[in-house]
Amino acid sequence: MTTVTLTEFRSQASGMLSRVEHGETLVVLRHGRPIAEVSPVTAVTGGELSWKKPGLRLVAKGASLSSAILEERDDEGNLPGSDLEARR
């Protein structure tokens, strides 16, 4: 594990990240205190990457929120364009 200052890390980021790619772990210091640990990514186990999995779909019973909002706006006469039609 190698310790580097934030200034060093910022000015030599590309080289520092190359070192991490080759297996080295870096501890970044700001004002002498550790603020980050940059380490190589571990191999993904379990097959598919999480960001490639389909998203979770939530289903709720009853009217959708958008239709409830539109209904409330309609009741109050606040639908976009409703004032235009009232002027005609």
Q: What pLDDT is recorded for position 70?
A: 85
Kindly report the pTM of this predicted structure.
0.50
Q: How far apart are CA 79 and CA 68, in angstroms?
A: 12
Q: Domain 2-38, what fold? A: YefM-like fold (3.40.1620)
Contact 73, 79 (CB under 8 A): yes
Which tokens belong to 16? 């520092």
Whole-angstrom CA distances from 44 to 14, 38, 41 are 24, 17, 8
Amino acid at 74: D
Q: What pLDDT is recorded for position 20?
A: 94
Q: What pLDDT is recorded for position 84?
A: 47
Residue in 29, 43, 57, 66 with CA at minimum distance from that of residue 74: 66
Averages of pLDDT over runs of 10 residues in the chain (88 residues) are 95 96 95 95 71 80 81 76 51
Q: What pLDDT is recorded for position 88?
A: 46
As annotated, the residues of the chain forming the CATH 3.40.1620 domain(s) are 2-38
